[in-house]
């Protein structure tokens, strides 16, 4: 189960810089996580200023 970024995302880019497997990229209006690449480390959720990445 990969993390998913909600619509709360303000596209700051902080999560992408902290992802160890480069699973996060800038999408249309928000950043997105490639579910096939995400290893559920939680780094993105820990650095996000608005709590947009949601895990299980
Ligand atoms: Fe990357 Fe970890 Fe976030 Fe998955 S949980 S997108 S591996 S930082
Ligand atoms: Fe969006 Fe949070 Fe990632 Fe910033 S850290 S791009 S607000 S999900």
Q: How far is the CA of 36 from the centre of ligand 2 (A)?
A: 19
Q: Find, among 32, 42, 41, the residue nearest to 4 by Cα.
A: 32
pLDDT tier for residue 42 given thresholds of 50, 70 and 90: very high
Pocket-forming residues, ligand 1, beta carbon under 6 Å: 3, 18-19, 21, 23-24, 33, 38-44, 53
Q: Is the pLDDT of residue 1 over 90?
A: no
Give the chain's domains with CATH numbers: 3-55 (3.30.70.20)
Binding pocket residue ranges, ligand 2, CB within 6 Å? 5, 9-15, 31, 47-48, 50, 52-53
Q: What is the pLDDT of residue 56?
A: 74
Tokens 């160890």 belong to residue? 20
Handedness of CA 56, 6, 47, 21 (dihedral sign): positive
pTM of the model: 0.95
For 6-40, the pLDDT digits (tens) are 999 999 999 999 999 999 999 999 999 999 999 99
């Amino acid at each position: 189960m990969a993390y998913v970024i909600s619509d709360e995302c303000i596209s700051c880019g902080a999560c992408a810089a902290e992802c160890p497997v480069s699973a996060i990229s800038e999408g249309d209006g928000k950043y997105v996580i490639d579910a096939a690449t995400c290893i559920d480390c939680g780094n993105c959720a820990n650095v996000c200023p608005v709590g947009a990445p949601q895990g299980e």
